[in-house]
Amino acid sequence: PVPTQQRGTPAAMEQHEQLILALMSPDNTIRGQAEEAYNQAKQQPAQLLPVLIGLLGGSGNEQVRNLCAVLLRKAVMQQMTKDPGPEGSHIPGMPQTTMDQIKQQLLMCIEREPMRNTQKKVCDAVGQLAVNLLAHNLQAWPELGPFILGATSGGNPQLHEAAFTILNALAEFIAEKWTQFHAQLLQIFRTSLQANQPLQVRNAALRALASFLMAVEDFKTAAPFQELVPLMLLAISDALQANAEDECRDAIEVFVELADSQIKFLRKDLQSCVNAMITIASNADLEDSVRHLALEFLLTVAESAPTLARKLPDFCGMAVPVALQMMLEIECDSAEELNAWEEENDDEEETEINNYDVGEEALDRLAIAMGGKTMMPVLSAKIQEWFGAADWKMRHAALMAISQSGEGCEAQMAKNLEMIVKTIVTKFGDPHPRVRWAAINTIGQMSTDFGPKLQKKLHTIVLPALLGAMDDASKRVMAHAAAAVINFCEHCDRSILRPYLPDLLGKLLALLRRDGQRRVQEQAVTAVASVADVAESDFTPFYDDFMPPLKYFLKAAEGKEYRMLRGKAMECVSLIGVAVGKDKFGADAHEVMQLLIATRSADLEPDDPQVGFMLQACARICKCLGEAFKPYLPYVIPPLLASAQIDPELHVTDADDDEEEEDEEGMESVTVAIRGQGNKRITIRTSALEEKATACSMLHSYVMDLKEGFFPYVQEVARILVPLIKFQYMDDVRTAAMMTMPELLESAILAVKAQVPNATDQLVHQLKEFMLEPVLEQLKNEPDVETLSCMLESFGELIGHGAETAAAQLSEPQMRACATVLKVLLEESLERREERLRESADDEPDEEEQEQLEGVAEREEGLVSSLVECIGTLFKVYGSRFLPIFHDETAQPSLDADGRMQQPTLGAWFYTLLQPTRPDGSQTPATDRTAAICVFDDVIEHCSADGGSDKYIGELYSAFLKYAVDPSAEVRQAAVYGIGLLATHVSDTMLTPQRQEEAAQALLMVCGSPDAFSDENASASDNAVSALGKLCKRSDAIAAAALPRWLDMLPLKSDIAEACTVHKQLVEFVESSNAHLLGANHERLPQIICVFGQVMNSALMDDDVTARAVGLIKQVYTGLPHVLQSLPNHPSFALLTPEQRQQLEMAVSS
């Protein structure tokens, strides 16, 4: 570093300039030495900044000035402190007088810099410095405001543009702190956007305006600026007329950003904006990138404000043809082009975005955003018009339009599904191979979108057509037919596929043997895997045909081009193994595992697809072999642990630097604006993320399948996976890690019981302690509702293991910590719902958007349901010990910072949710009341034995009776289930005979309703029947009056769990020869036997109960043969199917 007194001399400046030049040297040695010297200089920012500014203003070398501007902005970002130092400035060691000089010199540099690019970088540095200074003191740079005003009115276009670059950097600050200057700012924008200003100035104004608007939180602040929208649109129009497509593209990008985050700002002129973008997107003479951006604006409007878009005149009618027209811009007319298409791989990603891809994606996004009711009329008209067109491109586009819009238009297409599918299948014979490919692709996509309905109703149309397509002259079409089989199998029932297996597997075996056609073989192998997955043991007769060629692929398919084929063969072999079972697969399992282990031991590249296939294949083979897989664990677990720890290579770099490198394969990057730090480019290796997620998922699979057999690895897996519960870059990693926690704890518990070496209660306790705090922390911080729901399920399983051993139980402080976290999650869920209601009241969502909001609400209800399950588990494990933590009656509600009432405990919250009305007088939502009833159901079930629930019984009894006849079926179901729990668990002191009779009357009323057993009400009524049976068991008086009516309601069919409970009750009543049920002369015995006939050997009766029922039937045959002889004449006998009648006959003769 140069001595202070010599820093400004010409010789010193020359020395500094040489250092900057050396930083750009192509010679690694010179550049390395320069970087070391510069890093030393950075340790003295008070000396470095004046040097950089001196070179900015004094160097005649443009490259030096350019790099100095970049280094200056970085130095400002890195060196400025939050608070002023002893010298008065925010740069360590720099006097305030020097800082004042720097500010003055920077503004002079902007004025004097001739090169636009370098000037922009200086402006970035000024903006960065201003943000940091003004954040602490609004008067810290008094010269800046006048400088900006002068630059915007001085007639110098380059300086004018520079002023907006500074304003752009200051956007958030201006929006929040300089509100008194907003009117002046509006005038600056109004003047700068006029047609007489240069396009570069207008575009800079647009960019700064957009940044300002996106920083504004209150729309009232943005509203005055809405008058600028016509001028903003004029900038686009003038850029087009001047053939300045770069400026046009920059201007449209601003509109896209505003449509995404400030659509209200554009609302008054939205129709004009849409019309302008339709015109641009439709103009085939413009650059593709400009057209794509215009279409992106339309899509962003549809996605960010679908209700608003649907209210615009013919929005879809204008946007859909633009997308479809782009889908015609494909080339495959000549023999050379067709041959090139034949050789392409469907899985290969296009490196260059083309118009066809943009149009196709646009249809998908439009359909999802706008909904089928709006989209389908427009789309179907075009599809019908193009379907029979002479131009193959139109036929191709029509088919792909169906494929792309299926998800968004599902409800509308479902009404005419058979007609649509039959029409598509006719194109399997189209003269052009790309149309045939598109038809098959559409059937495959629809098999996914409309499964399992399509598979059940239309398999006789789809599967024969796909079988025929496997003989197509085009190998790419042939391969795609096999790929469509994969889609079809996703939602296909085993019984549907069974008749097709010989023909289907015969075709696939033929494709698999087509040497030299790797793509065909790959798809055939995957299709076989999918078929095996569905067919299960039905695949066994075909096993010997497929296993030899699949093992051949694993042994002989060498070379990089065969990596995918080998990987898919691994997948197929493992799925076949699971399908046919250990007895059939066992003979080949060892050889297959040796091949997989050998492959894993090879030096595979990081992006080798075999890695993922191999991890999953080993896990499936483990599932198939069970304990017999344990010898292979030393080979498969260590690589999994390594993959689980793989570094995703996250890098954060400065996005404003010139060196914008393309992402290497497997890497993805995104640019974000970070306040106070500028634009940052965040890059991560996505292939590593996927490998990490797969490894975590496979570890979960192993421990779940092997139980105590996995114990030797429990501690190591816990050490690696517990931190990954908080892994912020991928939901799948967090979810898999969390799901593994209860399985690891169970493995250790079972190992202790099995007396596995080194398995102790102390280790179980340590494991629980190691997991609990990170789990609770992540539950509080998890941002995604669906992921949180899944995590809560795993958390419930984790704390549930406390019922198995004291070593896994929670201490009282831990129970309190759990209750606190669950309370916070409940409060946050309720607040999100209130926020949605406020937004709905403001925006008045239409029918399509209301459906989307209902989907969000359903996910939130799922979260609360998972939360309720966790509370139930705490009661199940700890009983009345948890009650004082759940509900502290001495604690009082309080107001939060926003004036909202907050309850002190979980119990207080659920007591509030139990009430029919909320504190504001509005009705408590049915979902809230249901959740509250379910929680108090658990209190009754688990806290009654020791009287812990007694203080709640009176109020809960009244609530249950009231809610037993609630209009909401889910409320009724929870309430009548609660009555059943009262009948089972509560003493006569609390549930008096009078209360029992009142409850029975209420239950009979529920079950006696005309629509009690309709689809909507059946589950609630099943629970009422179950509760009534429990009361009958408890009270002979109730049994005498109610049991005959109770029998008339059987069998139950909707709620499987309650059906099994009730049919067991029926068996018990018969076993005890209950006269109220049987009748004085056994007159109801035929009816009972007919009920048995309908439920035996089904999911509606447990196997052990079926055996007891069979025993009773045999007793009747022996002791009361006339009852069975008269059975065919009983009215209930007509309800039995032939199969059920045969079961009764077998019960008698067995």
Cα–Cα distance measured from residue 680 to residue 688, given in angstroms and rounded to the nearest whole number: 22
Buried b or exposed e, range 397-425, using 16+ CB within 10 angstroms: bbbbbbbbbbbbbbebbeeebeebbebbb
| Percent share of the chain, pLDDT over 90 | 67
Contact assessment for residue 606 and residue 649, using Cβ atoms and an 8 Å cutoff: no
Compute, in degrees rounded to 10, the torsion defined by CA atoms 1092, 1096, 1099, 1101.
60
What is the reported pLDDT for 673? Answer: 54
What is the reported pLDDT for 84? Answer: 61
For the entire predicted model, the pTM comes to: 0.76
Output phi, psi for 296, to 5 deg. -60, -35
What is the reported pLDDT for 609? Answer: 83
Residues 456-477 pLDDT 10s: 999 999 999 999 999 999 999 9
What is the reported pLDDT for 675? Answer: 47
**Coil, strand or helix at 327:** coil
Residues 6+ apart with CB under 8 A from 933: 914, 959, 960, 963, 971, 974, 975, 978
Q: Which of 522-526, 644-648, 1132-1136 has the highest mean pLDDT?
A: 522-526
**CB neighbours of residue 324 within 10 Å:** 23
Q: Which amino acid is it at 986?
A: V
What is the reported pLDDT for 842? Answer: 67
Residues 1050-1098 pLDDT 10s: 999 999 999 999 999 999 999 999 999 999 888 999 999 999 999 999 9
What is the reported pLDDT for 176? Answer: 84
Confidence of residue 349 (pLDDT cuts 50, 70, 90): very low
Q: Can you name the residues that pair with 210 across neighbouring β-strands? A: none
Closest Cα partner for 23 from 11, 35, 13?
35
What is the reported pLDDT for 377? Answer: 92
pLDDT over 90 (residue 851): no
What is the reported pLDDT for 4? Answer: 41
Of the listed ranges 78-82, 192-196, 346-350, the least confidently predicted one is 346-350
Q: Which segments of 944-968 does DSSP mark as H helices, in order?
A: 950-963
Residues 122-166 pLDDT 10s: 898 888 888 888 877 788 888 998 999 999 988 899 999 999 999
Residues 502-515 pLDDT 10s: 999 999 999 999 88
Q: Can you name the residues that pair with 679 across neighbouring β-strands? A: 673
Residue with more model confidence, 61 or 677: 61
Residues 895-907 pLDDT 10s: 776 667 677 889 9
Confidence of residue 764 (pLDDT cuts 50, 70, 90): very high
Cα–Cα distance measured from residue 1112 to residue 1092, given in angstroms and rounded to the nearest whole number: 10
What is the reported pLDDT for 89? Answer: 62
Q: Which amino acid is it at 1097?
A: N
What is the reported pLDDT for 48? Answer: 86
Q: Which helix (H) or strand (E) holds 654?
A: strand 651-654
**DSSP per residue, 457-473:** HHHHHHHHHHHHHTT-S
What is the reported pLDDT for 333? Answer: 83
Cα–Cα distance measured from residue 191 to residue 205, given in angstroms and rounded to the nearest whole number: 10
When the pLDDT of each residue in the chain is averaged and rounded to a whole number, the result is: 90
What is the reported pLDDT for 913? Answer: 93
Confidence of residue 421 (pLDDT cuts 50, 70, 90): very high
What is the reported pLDDT for 658? Answer: 46
Alpha-carbon dihedral sign for residues 131, 133, 137, 138 = negative
**CB neighbours of residue 658 within 10 Å:** 9
Residues 967-987 pLDDT 10s: 999 999 999 999 999 999 999
What is the reported pLDDT for 1024? Answer: 96
Q: What's the burial of 431, exposed, middle or buried (CB within 10 Å: 0-12/13-18/19+)?
A: exposed
pLDDT over 90 (residue 1125): no
Contact assessment for residue 342 and residue 368, using Cβ atoms and an 8 Å cutoff: no
Residues 862-881 pLDDT 10s: 999 999 999 999 999 999 99
Contact assessment for residue 272 and residue 312, using Cβ atoms and an 8 Å cutoff: no
Residues 281-291 pLDDT 10s: 999 999 999 99
pLDDT over 60 (residue 604): yes
Contact assessment for residue 20 and residue 72, using Cβ atoms and an 8 Å cutoff: no
Mean pLDDT score, 631-642: 91
Residues 212-248 pLDDT 10s: 999 888 888 999 999 999 999 999 999 999 999 899 9
Mean pLDDT score, 706-735: 95
Confidence of residue 654 (pLDDT cuts 50, 70, 90): low
What is the reported pLDDT for 5? Answer: 38
